[in-house]
Amino acid sequence: MAVGAWAGRVKRVGRDVLLPGLMVGLLVTGCSGGSSGSSSDAARVSAAQVTLTPGDGAAEVPAQGGVFAQVRAGRLTSVHLKDADGQEIAGAVSADGSTWSPTGKLLPETRYTLDALAVDKDGLQAAKHASFTTFVPKNTFIGFYNAVDRSTVGVGFIVQIRFNRPIADRAAVQNAISVTAKPAVPIVAHWFGNQRVDFRPEHYWAPNTQVTLGLHLKHVEGAPGVYGTQDKAIGFTVGRSQISTADTDADTLTVVRDGQTLRTLYISAGGPGHSTYDGVMVISEQDQVTRMDSHTVGLGSEYDIPAVPHAMRLTDSGTFVHGVYWRPESVFGRVNTSHGCIGMYDVPGGESGSTPAGWFFDHSMVGDVVQVTGSSGDQVSPDNGMSGWNMTWKQWTAG
C-alpha cells in the first residue's frame, strides 16, 4: 500500500491526535512490508485520556466555569486557549497535572480554540482539540455621552457619560473609556454615584484643543452578567474662550471673550426665596424657544410659560439663562425677580438677535462658562450639570 494511503488513515483517531513518533513507525512498517520491527510496538497508544469541556462545536459557553481540560491515566503537559486573533487566555494546571482551567477572563460572543496535550506513565502523548463560541449576553449596558461628534464647544465643557444600568466594576468601565487631548493635557475621571462618570482637565480647556472620547465598552462586564455594547470614538474641538460673570448684586452679566470684555448686559436673577445658585456653571444646551413648567422643578404651579425665548441650560435642576418678554425692560439691572434663573430682556419668538437675550444667545455656545457671584443662594452642586469646576483638583482626582 502507498505511504500516502497510510498517512491518510492514521493522522487522527477520532479527535485524538496520533503521536509523530507513532506515525513514523507506521510509515516505516508500510514501506518495509513488515520485514523489521514489532507490530505490537508500533501500535502502542497512549493510555492518557484527555477530555475537554466544552466539547468541539459547542455554543453559548459561559465566560466563567464552563471551560476546562482534564486527563485520566496521565498528566497534562500543555494547554492553550486562544481566540480567533491568536490571543491566548492564561490558565493553570493543577498540582497533580490532572486538570487545567483558565485564570483569564473569556469574552462573550467570541470563538475560541482549546488544545491540550498529555502524557501517560510511559511518556506516550495524547492530544485533544475543540473549538467553541461563548454566550451572547442577555443583559447589557450603554453609556449616554454629551459630546457631539465634530462639534465645537466652549472651554468649560466637561465630558459626561451616564449609564443606563448601575456600574459595579467602575475600574473596568473607566479603563475602557479614554479622553485624550491635542495638545496633550492630563484628563481625570470623577464618578458621581454608580451611573455617571465625568472627565475634565485641571483647568479650563485651552482654545483650539482637539479632544477625542473613546468608548471601548464592548464585552466589558460592568456588573455581574451585564456587558457593554459600544465601541466608538467621538471627536470635538474647543473653540474660543468665553467666560461670563453674572453679578446678582449689580444685576449685570459681563461677557469676556479671550480676555477682552465684549459687553455688559442687565439681568434679573433669583428673587427672595428663590436665589440663583452661586458658583461656576456651564451652558449645556441651547433652545431658541422652550417651555418652562414649574412642576418639573418641584415648584408646584408657580408658572407655566409655553414659549420662553433664547433659553440656555446651566444645571440639570432647571437653572437657565433666558429671555424674558413678560416683564418691562426697566426691571433688568434693578430688581431680581426670577425663580432662580438669570433673565434678560427679550421679545417673543426667540428670533431677534437685537435684544440683550438674543445677543447673548447668538454669541454663546455649549461649553461656555457662566460664573455667578454675589448671590445669597447655595453654591451649585458639582454634579448639577457641568458644574464640576466647583471642585478643587484634589477633590476631583480623589474620586
- Residues serving a catalytic function are 322, 341
Residues in the chain: 399
Strands (E), 325-365: 342-345
CB atoms within 10 A of CB 132: 22
Among 137, 131, 15, residue whose Cα is nearest residue 82: 131
Give the separation between CA 192 and CA 255, rounded to whole angstroms: 30
CB atoms within 10 A of CB 16: 17
Q: Are 367 and 282 in contact (CB under 8 A)?
A: yes
355 burial level (CB within 10 Å; 0-12, 13-18, 19+):
buried
CA distances in angstroms from 351 to 327, 356, 363, 382, listed in the order given: 18, 12, 14, 33
The three cell numbers of residue 110 are: 467570541
The three cell numbers of residue 34 are: 513488515
Q: Please identify which residue in the block is written with the cell numbers 451585564.
A: 226
Q: Please identify which residue in the block is written with the cell numbers 457671584.
A: 373
The three cell numbers of residue 129 are: 482539540
